[in-house]
């Protein structure tokens, strides 16, 4: 390695560490707009080479000038994003330096082996059936696509239809049953798999957003034929958990496949205290979750689990191209379990996080986030004008200020502008609400307390000035 190469990497590492060190003090939301950033990073395509250090320094300026959201900082509570553990960042740097095309064992034996090991650890940690197959796609949306492709294969095969040979055209009608509060990525995956909205039947939810099993039973009994049920663990607004055990029992009586969207909520299964909330989850047929949310590894890493490995494999890259080496027993090829060929070794940070945290470390991280969410509830509900809208069973809290949407919107806008913390807006039960998601390992009790103080200040200002 020449000096220039070493210098540019050290410069980037230094800049990244400075960024991380400054996270707790950053204005949490972005302050730069598209115009400023265009000016800073844009211009015509450079005609000639430039010093690489200038390019890296420009990224430093983009961060310094407010173009980066401190979503991995301790007081970002928007959406459900999660932070990144230091060891996961470090492993991600190594992943990039190794630059393995990790789809195939032969192209990256250490990466493929680490993925194989991480897959086994995850099954153990989440309490899934031992024979479950695992894939590492880019995110939960692609995990849905993978799992639902396996589901489609399986239920159509049960109906005597070879999906991979004959395609969907003229296949037996297949019904998909989804919860009222499903995530939009479930619809996205279904659309990409060739299912139209006429084939998607919505099962009503209770006020917390949980699928009603009696309505599911009713809908399933209304027609025969292959069916797939999509349940959810962890609603993005309320954190609500569908009664997955009951859903599995009902669906399986009708020979339907149960897919679980547990993008963040499935991690409750990793905590002995929370696991009872997701009892019966292990009876489902497939599960989708994210590592880049609650496991706190960098984007992009989703996880798909399928209790029918043969269906999983059949729905993916079933036949190998001539130039690909034949699989060798004991060597697991990551491509067999995802709809991609070339890919980065995104499972290495997962392996590193699990290897470092261990079973109790993961459970502590999940429990801590939930404790912080409860702390928000107990501190906020005593403030005037505040109403907590959900039963905060996990890490999600919904808050409404006053009786009209206006005050809630103003509180959110002023909190975002203040920069101490960041919350997003959502609509729940027809009204505007502020959404709190505690998903980062970095959030400490002091961050919750400081944030509550900031909310109190903003609320007082908005409700006392004429």
Residues that bind ligand PLP (CB under 6 A): 80, 139-141, 183, 185, 234, 236, 261, 263-264, 290, 302
Between residues 67 and 137, which has the closer beta carbon with respect to ligand PLP?
Answer: 137
Report residue 206 as tokens.
């209770």
- Residue closer to ligand PLP by CB (options 107, 295) is 295
- Least separation in angstroms between CB 332 and ligand PLP: 23
If the CB atoms of residues 107 and 205 are measured against ligand PLP, the closer one turns out to be: 205
Q: How far is the CB of 366 from ligand PLP (least distance, A)?
A: 15
Q: How far is the CB of 61 from ligand PLP (least distance, A)?
A: 28
In angstroms, give the least distance from the CB of 243 to ligand PLP: 16
Q: Provide, rounded to whole angstroms, the least separation between the CB of residue 203 and ligand PLP.
A: 16
> How far does the chain reach from its first CA to its final CA, in angstroms?
66
155: which 2 tokens? Answer: 């239920």
Q: How far is the CB of 443 from ligand PLP (least distance, A)?
A: 18
* Residue (of 145, 166, 82) closest to 437 by Cα position: 82
Cβ-contact 13, 96 below 8 angstroms: no
Q: Which residue has the tokens 């250090």?
A: 53
User: 93-101 contacts: CB < 8 A, separation 24 or more?
Assistant: 93/13, 94/348, 95/344, 95/345, 95/346, 95/348, 95/349, 96/344, 98/345, 98/348, 99/344, 100/344, 100/345, 101/342, 101/343
User: In terms of CB distance, is 192 or 457 closer to ligand PLP?
Assistant: 192
CB closer to ligand PLP, 154 vs 183? 183
Residue whose CB is less far from ligand PLP, 217 or 242: 242
| Complex with ligand PLP: residue 185 or 458, whichever CB lies closer | 185
Q: Give phi and psi for 389, each to the nearest 5.
A: -95, -15
Of 132 and 396, nearer to ligand PLP (C-beta) is 396
Count Cβ atoms within 10 A of the Cβ of residue 75 and give its class: 0-12 exposed, 13-18 middle, 19 or more buried: buried
- In the complex with ligand PLP, which residue's Cβ is closer, 236 or 274? 236
- CB nearer to ligand PLP: give 183 or 332: 183
In the complex, the smallest distance separating the C-beta of residue 185 from ligand PLP, rounded to whole angstroms, is: 4
Using CA atoms, how far apart are residues 147 and 287, in angstroms rounded to an integer? 7
For residue 96, the minimal CB distance to ligand PLP (Å) is 20
CB of 230 to ligand PLP, least distance (A): 10
With CB atoms as reference, the residue minimizing the distance to ligand PLP is 139
Whether 392 and 239 have beta carbons less than 8 Å apart is answered as yes
Lookup: tokens for 256: 């339907």
Q: How far is the CB of 187 from ligand PLP (least distance, A)?
A: 11
């Amino acid at each position: 390695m020449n000096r220039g190469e070493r210098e540019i990497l050290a410069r980037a590492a230094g800049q990244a560490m400075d960024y991380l060190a400054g996270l707790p003090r950053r204005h949490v939301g972005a302050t730069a707009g598209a115009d400023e950033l265009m000016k800073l990073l844009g211009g015509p395509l450079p005609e000639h080479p430039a010093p690489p250090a200038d390019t890296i320094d420009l990224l430093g300026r983009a961060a310094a000038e407010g173009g980066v959201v401190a979503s991995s900082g301790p007081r970002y509570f928007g959406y459900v994003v999660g932070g990144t553990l230091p060891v996961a960042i470090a492993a991600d740097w190594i992943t990039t330096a190794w630059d393995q095309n990790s789809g195939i064992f032969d192209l990256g034996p250490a990466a493929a082996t680490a993925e194989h090991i991480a897959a086994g650890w995850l099954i153990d940690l989440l309490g899934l059936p031992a024979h479950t197959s695992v894939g590492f796609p880019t995110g939960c949306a692609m995990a849905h696509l993978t799992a639902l492709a396996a589901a489609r294969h399986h239920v159509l095969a049960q109906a005597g239809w070879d999906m991979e040979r004959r395609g969907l055209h003229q296949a037996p009608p297949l019904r998909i049953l989804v919860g009222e509060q499903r995530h939009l990525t479930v619809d996205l995956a279904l659309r990409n798999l060739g299912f139209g909205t006429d084939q998607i039947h919505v099962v009503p939810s209770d006020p917390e957003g949980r699928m009603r099993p009696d309505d599911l039973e009713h809908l399933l009994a209304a027609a025969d034929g292959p069916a797939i049920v999509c349940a959810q663990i962890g609603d993005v607004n309320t954190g609500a958990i569908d009664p997955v055990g009951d859903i599995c029992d009902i669906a399986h009586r009708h020979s339907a496949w149960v897919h679980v969207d547990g993008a963040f909520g499935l991690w409750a299964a990793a905590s002995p205290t929370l696991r009872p909330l997701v009892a019966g989850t292990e009876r489902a047929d497939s599960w989708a979750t994210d590592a880049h949310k609650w496991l706190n590894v960098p984007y992009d890493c989703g996880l798909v689990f399928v209790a029918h490995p043969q269906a999983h494999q059949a729905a993916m890259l079933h036949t190998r191209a001539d130039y690909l080496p034949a699989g060798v027993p004991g060597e697991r090829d990551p491509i067999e379990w995802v709809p991609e060929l070339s890919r980065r070794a995104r499972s290495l940070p997962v392996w590193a996080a699990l290897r470092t945290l261990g079973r109790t470390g993961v459970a502590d991280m999940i429990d801590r986030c939930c404790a912080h969410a409860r702390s928000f509830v107990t501190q906020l509900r005593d403030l005037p004008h505040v109403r907590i809208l959900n039963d905060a069973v996990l890490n999600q809290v919904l808050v409404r200020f006053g009786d009209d949407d206006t005050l809630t919107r103003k509180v959110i806008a002023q909190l975002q502008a203040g920069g101490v913390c960041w919350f997003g807006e959502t609509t729940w039960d027809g009204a505007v609400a502020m959404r709190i998601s505690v998903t980062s390992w970095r959030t400490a009790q002091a961050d919750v307390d400081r944030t509550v103080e900031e909310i109190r200040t903003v609320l007082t200002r908005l409700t006392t000035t004429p």
